[in-house]
Structure 1
Amino acid sequence: MRHLLVFADRDDAEEVAETVAEEFPQMMPTVVRETLAGEDDAEDAQWLVVVEDHDDTLPPEDVARLDALAEEYDGWRESD
């Protein structure tokens, strides 16, 4: 399973990625920029922290922590 933490600001995404890496050393979060379909303005890009859970073994309390981190920085979590 892949968890996508979505943010409007790059700095927020990078800070959350650092926190995830510290709190979940088994995860290797990456920060990527996602341009919204049909948008020409670079300001409309979202920043994603991609957290791979290859074995789908992340316990519910850790998923809740990812949700809390996202909300703390005015973002949200999506699962893929």
Structure 2
Amino acid sequence: MRQLLVFADRDDAEEAAETLGEWFPSLGVPRAVRETLAGEDDAEDAQWLVVLEGLDEAALAKVDELVERYEGWREAG
């Protein structure tokens, strides 16, 4: 199942993506992408996403800890 990791800050998203690539080499290095919220005109309100697929529940628990460090969250996509 696809997981979306959501961050407010680009640097946080990129650092988390790099860490995830180190922890789970089979993923490669996930990419941080910008998502503008519907109806938002201000680019400052954009969120940064890292998309993951193919991780089991144990790995996702570790991912959750990382995401919380950067004050982000995980959503099933």
What's the TM-score bracket when you normalise by the shorter of the two chains?
A: over 0.9
Q: 1:63 corresponds to which residue? A: 60
More helix by percentage: 2
Report matched runs for 1:20-39 at 5 Å.
20-28=20-28, 29-39=30-40
User: C-alpha deviations, 1:12-69, integer Å up to 9, x for none?
Assistant: 000000000000011131211000000000010000011122xxxx222101011111
**Counterparts of 2:21 and 2:34 in 1: how far apart (Å)?**
18
Moved more, 44-53 or 32-41: 44-53
**Runs of 4+ with >3 A deviation:** none
Q: 1:2 corresponds to which residue? A: 2
Gaps of 5+ in 1: none
CA RMSD of superposed structures (Å):
0.9
**Counterparts of 2:32 and 2:56 in 1: how far apart (Å)?**
22
Q: Is 1:77 matched with 2:74?
A: yes
> Is the CA contact (8 Å cut-off) linking 1:30 and 1:51 kept in structure 2?
no
- The TM-score normalised by the length of structure 1 is 0.89
